[in-house]
Copies of this chain bind each other. A is one copy, B any other.
Amino acid sequence: MSRDVTDITETTLQSESVYEGSFLKVRRDTVRLPNGREGIREYVRHPGAVVVIAFLDDERVVMIRQYRYPVQRLIVEFPAGKLDAGESPLVCAQRELLEETGYSAHDWVQAGQMHLAVGYSDEVLHIFVARGLTAGARQLDEDEFLHVDVMRVDEILEGCRSGAITDAKSLSCALWLQNIHEGRWQV
């Protein structure tokens, strides 16, 4: 019975690029399914990204508020950004925090990784925790617009509960935030 297969891996039979935009790259692969049949998998190719949980010395956290066109609304989120070609996640995290918020940080630790949209993207997002912050000048791109909000941990968690924060990478970071803040997870 096909339902009883234990190896549920899918293997690539053919892979083609079907869209190469200014930003999005989409592939369409033909795969061998666990039951021997063929299937189609379409997905976004993504360079990878970082997201930063940046604690001020008083345990408040640096957040940003940005208009996100695909969802047509202002989104409250942790500072984040895509890896440049050849860039290490740590260097990217330091660059994005500085560019978006003006803060640089003395202590950096990688907390974990997440896969943002496993159904249709290969994006891996590296989660960093930054401490020992120093405020400075932002370095936004000319066409980049965002507000910086410094928030308390309880405000962020209440925002997650109430629906003020809906961004999945930020809800995921809030799980780290809560457990780090309460001393359960050592990062």
Query: Which residues does chain B contribute within 8 Å of A23, judged by CB atoms?
Result: 40, 42, 120
- Convert A10-39 into 0s and 1s, putting 1 for each residue whose CB lies closer than 8 angstroms to a CB of B: 100000001101111010110101110101
* Interface core residue of A33, A117, A140, A178 (most chain B CB under 10 Å): A117
Q: Determine the main DSSP class of A at the interface with B.
A: mixed
A152 to chain B, nearest CB (A): 16
- Convert A87-131 into 0s and 1s, putting 1 for each residue whose CB lies closer than 8 angstroms to a CB of B: 000000000000000000000000011111111111111000000
Interface residues of A (CB under 8 A from B): 2-3, 5, 8-10, 18-19, 21-24, 26, 28-29, 31, 33-35, 37, 39-44, 66-72, 74-75, 77, 112-125, 138, 140, 142-143, 145-147, 157, 160-161, 163, 166-169, 171-172, 174-175, 178-179, 185
A77 to chain B, nearest CB (A): 7
A165 to chain B, nearest CB (A): 9
Bound complex: CA A95 to CA B170 (Å)? 28
Q: Is the CB of B69 within 8 A of A29?
A: yes
A177 to chain B, nearest CB (A): 9
Nearest opposing residue in chain B for A171, CB measure = B172
Q: List 14 A-B contacts (CB under 8 A).
A: A8-B66, A8-B74, A8-B147, A10-B67, A35-B142, A71-B115, A71-B124, A112-B166, A114-B168, A115-B166, A116-B116, A116-B117, A117-B168, A168-B172
Copies of this chain, complex-wide, total: 2
Query: Which residues does chain B contribute within 8 Å of A24, judged by CB atoms?
Result: 26, 42-44, 120
Bound complex: CA A125 to CA B68 (Å)? 16
Q: Is the CB of A35 within 8 A of B70?
A: no
Bound complex: CA A137 to CA B160 (Å)? 35
Q: Is the CB of B26 within 8 A of A43?
A: no
Query: Which residues does chain B contribute within 8 Å of A161, judged by CB atoms?
Result: 112, 179, 185
